[in-house]
Amino acid sequence: MGIDIGTSSAKTLIIDEHGKPMAEASAKYPILTPASGWAEQDPESWWASVKEAVKKTIRGSKVDPRQISAIGLSGQMHGTVLLDRGLKPLRPAIIWADKRSQSQCREIYERVGKKRVLGITCNPVMPGFMAPSLLWVKRNEPSVFERVFRVLLPKDYVRFRLTGSLATDVSDASATLLFDVKRKEWSTEIISNLGFQLDSFPEVYESTDVTGEVSKEASEETTLPIGVKVVAGGGDSPVGAVGCGVIKPGIVSSNIGSAGQVFAVLDEMRVDPKFRIHTFCHAVPGKWYIQGAILSAGLSLSWFIETLGFEESLRSGDVDLYEILSKEAESAEPGCRGLIFMPYLIGERSPHLDPYARGLFFGLTLSHRRAHMTRAIMEGVVYALKDSLEIFKELDVKVDRIVARGGGAKSTLWRQIQADIFNSEVINVEVKEEAAFGAALLAGVGAGVYRDLQEAVEEAVKVKGAKYPHPERVEIYEHYYRNVYRRLYPLLKRYFRLL
């Protein structure tokens, strides 16, 4: 069984040893926004949704629960769960989308040193990561901070409720900014410098290690048998990569969900000295990965549909609005007659690290129609991902072929746009919920069903199709990317701040 604690819902699935899904289910929970720029969730809402989804999955699978050999966990990264001595949450968890800790980010650089932070964590300091979020609590909620006994990541709170054990894995820990990514251990230097206690943080395991068993209490709440093994699992980005077979150098994933990421596996750790992209530990033992992240990928398209009224005008019965607009966009020529979209609707992460960045259409004329605007959004998202892919190449990261992931992988047009803009073969695989599927594969290794993740991927991950770059379209996109898209941000940066 794989369990994924996403940003909006918990997803669970059961697969057989060949990777065939037996059943899957999900259950939603809200994001709390008590102030502008804040993003929180109640850890108990994760657990309530997990219980609901697990029960649905077991019923839907018609599998005897005693046949479940192990459970793997995946979850949204960077979040901060604070527990008291009774191991109860002290406050809602601060999650990755939270922006409140910008002054704490500056404080971390001042206290530890910018180069030293990069040398240890291999990452730029960003709001929403555990280190600045925890420092914000220390500075703004001292009575809460004084009662902190343990600090967990989101999926690890679910592990605690399943097993009673307090543990995490190297992939999730490496995205906290409190972890020595090369040594794969908590950084005593950063933790002490920021006034935290080392024993507040859980023991760290490789993602395929067994960290506990389903407890009697959890069994009663979920219908899972007592004693089922629970493996360490990992952050949703690396575990989703496992679910798509991205476990060795040369295979890169391009994920277009609400946000977007490009992800490449490393045999040896590599860091961007210009602080533009991230380096974390992979869920594959002994590997790392390098990742560029954008904040408004599929979110840009959903904003377009919902905000400009297309949802009302297009809806009639059970139709997929994304599919309708995607079909329309196929009629627009590549490059959209010079219309460029910059997807910086909530600021941007890679490569600009700029919370002030804004989205825009550039080059609008009376000849442009909705089909051009839709296609320009799809192209603009891929241009933004290409920015990070260019950094990969600059750092000599091997890119042989690309695996399309997320909602964007469902669109034939969006996959073709990726192939043309990236100038690379783009494949998609027969996996719907990549993170939950990857978590199930990790569980299979932990239970001894597979010898290792290589065997698991070879047995369970199946290629569904491929798109190849078209030379004429490659040339058109390269022109717009090099000569227009890449030049717009540097020209507009100061004006974004004025807004």
Give the catalytic positions in this structure: 236
Separation in Å, CA 91 to CA 80, 103, 126, 139, 313? 10, 21, 21, 15, 42
CA nearest to 202, candidates 263, 258, 155: 155
Query: How many angstroms separate the CA atoms of 243 and 437, rounded?
Result: 5
Query: How many angstroms separate the CA atoms of 392 and 169, rounded?
Result: 25
Residues 6+ apart with CB under 8 A from 443: 1, 2, 69, 70, 71, 72, 229, 231
Separation in Å, CA 411 to CA 155, 336, 428? 30, 18, 10
CA nearest to 469, candidates 374, 396, 405, 386: 386
CA nearest to 194, candidates 169, 167, 176: 176
Buried b (16+ CB within 10 A) or exposed e, 401-415: ebbbbbbbbbbebbb
CA nearest to 173, candidates 216, 211, 203, 143: 203
Residues 6+ apart with CB under 8 A from 76: 5, 6, 7, 95, 96, 154, 155, 235, 236
Helical (H) or strand (E) element with 150: strand 150-152
Count of Cβ atoms closer than 10 Å to residue 189 Cβ: 13
First to last CA, the chain: 48
Amino acid at 383: Y
Beta bridge partners of 231: 210
Query: How many angstroms separate the CA atoms of 199 and 353, rounded?
Result: 32
Cβ burial, residue 384 (10 Å; 0-12/13-18/19+)? buried
Cβ burial, residue 142 (10 Å; 0-12/13-18/19+)? exposed
Cβ-contact 203, 43 below 8 angstroms = no
Cβ-contact 381, 344 below 8 angstroms = no
Separation in Å, CA 160 to CA 74, 198, 281, 401? 14, 19, 22, 38
Cβ-contact 136, 104 below 8 angstroms = yes
Axis crossing angle, helix 236-243 with helix 434-446, rounded to the nearest 10: 80
CA nearest to 237, candidates 275, 288, 271, 187: 288
Helical (H) or strand (E) element with 47: helix 43-61
